Chain A
Amino acid sequence: MKVRVEVMLRDGVFDPEGEAVRSALGNLGFDGVSGVRQGKVIEFDLQETDPERAKHTTREMCEKLLANTVIEQYRIDLV
């Protein structure tokens, strides 16, 4: 099963990189852009056929390593 994890900074945590992207978009003439947030996507193949177990395992991975829940939130998609 292919798993896709999206990790983003939590709402309210300032994202300086997102802000730099917004500013660069403005320089290119793309006005009216706001709230740019930059995150990361992690994909992997998991040897598991049960979606619930796959989600459970992936949640553990996120809590232990893939995300720092002090500042980040994550979303799990089974592809």
Chain B
Amino acid sequence: MRAAVIVFPGSNCDRDMAVAFREVTGADTTMVWHGESSLPDGIDIVGVPGGFSYGDYLRCGAIAANSPIARAIVDFAEAGGPVLGVCNGFQVLTETGLLPGALIRNAGIKFVCKTVGLKVGSTDSLFTSSYGQDETVQFPVAHHDGNYCAPGDLLDRLEDEGRVAFRYMDNPNGSDGDVAGVLSANRRVLGLMPHPERAVDELHGGTDGQRMFAGLAEALMTV
């Protein structure tokens, strides 16, 4: 398996994500700078990491979503390529339009940094197939703008289509419908605010994220 992890100025979870790909899946993982206009050949999955791309100027993820590499990520996803966006990566993916909705300031104003309980909302994706439906997992969150906003009938549509991948057990940020992570219509793009890549080693304090990466590797290797 070959993975690409995107690096923007201000990304700070890029190496954590690369370590998760390498250590859990053995993937040949390439870091790709935001100024590149194409992904390396033969990439099986793209990771868009957490951080504060471009200092969160204008809106979280807005500048990154218009950087040269963003076009290549959108093309890759539109051709059916799997993309995982975590935290700031989730914000970037909503700004590109690959995922619906938007992420705004936490309802309680404060930056939230802790481990949270999540319920698996759908096991029907590359990312969640190794979890059980409604299983509870623990991932860390660390964000200021994680309040998922699903205007109009978007939340109902996501629920009807089984595209809410993870839900907060105890909503830390005011997200509509307790949504912590959503899938694209083709179920091959996942964006989530909690950090599975920071829960892959006993030293992280939890290993619930391991199965996401292991499941990805299994699904992508057997294609």
Q: Which residues of A contact B (CB under 8 A)?
A: 9-10, 12-17, 20, 64-66, 68, 70-71
Chain A residues whose C-beta falls within 8 Å of the C-beta of B80 in the assembled complex = none
Q: Report the minimum CB–CB distance from B5 to chain A (whole Å).
A: 25
Chain A residues near B102 (CB, 8 Å)? 68, 70-71
The answer to whether B109 touches A16 (Cβ under 8 A) is: yes
B130 at the interface (CB under 8 A from A): no
- Beyond the given pairs A10-B151, A71-B151, 16 more chain A to chain B contacts, judged by CB atoms under 8 angstroms and listed by A's residue number, are A13-B104, A14-B107, A15-B105, A16-B107, A16-B108, A16-B174, A20-B109, A65-B58, A65-B62, A65-B66, A68-B59, A68-B102, A70-B101, A70-B149, A70-B151, A71-B102
Q: Check A16 against B151 for contact (C-beta < 8 Å).
A: no
| Bound-state Cα–Cα, A66 to B62, Å | 8
> How far apart are the CA atoms of A15 and B104 in the complex, in Å?
9
Contact indicator B104/A71 (Cβ below 8 Å): yes
| B interface size (C-beta, 8 A) | 19
Between A and B, 23 residue pairs with Cβ closer than 8 Å are A9-B104, A10-B151, A13-B104, A13-B151, A14-B104, A14-B107, A14-B174, A15-B105, A16-B104, A16-B105, A16-B106, A16-B147, A17-B105, A20-B109, A64-B66, A65-B58, A65-B62, A65-B66, A66-B58, A70-B149, A71-B102, A71-B104, A71-B149
Binary A-proximity of B107-118 (CB < 8 A = 1, otherwise 0): 111000000000
CA distance A16 to B149 in the complex (A): 13
Q: Which B residues are in CB contact (< 8 Å) with A66? A: 58
Q: How far is the CA of A65 from the CA of B62 in the complex (A)?
A: 7
Choose among B106, B108, B147, B149 the residue with the greatest number of A CB atoms under 10 Å from its CB: B149
Asked if B95 is at the interface of the complex by the 8 Å CB criterion, the answer is yes
A13: chain B residues within 8 A (beta carbon) = 104, 149, 151
Q: Which residues of B contact A17 (CB under 8 A)?
A: 105, 109
A48 to B209, CA, bound (A): 53
CB interface residues, B 42-99, toward A, < 8 Å: 58-59, 62, 66, 94-95
How many angstroms from the CA of A9 to the CA of B147 in the assembled complex? 14
Residue on B with the closest CB to A67?
B59
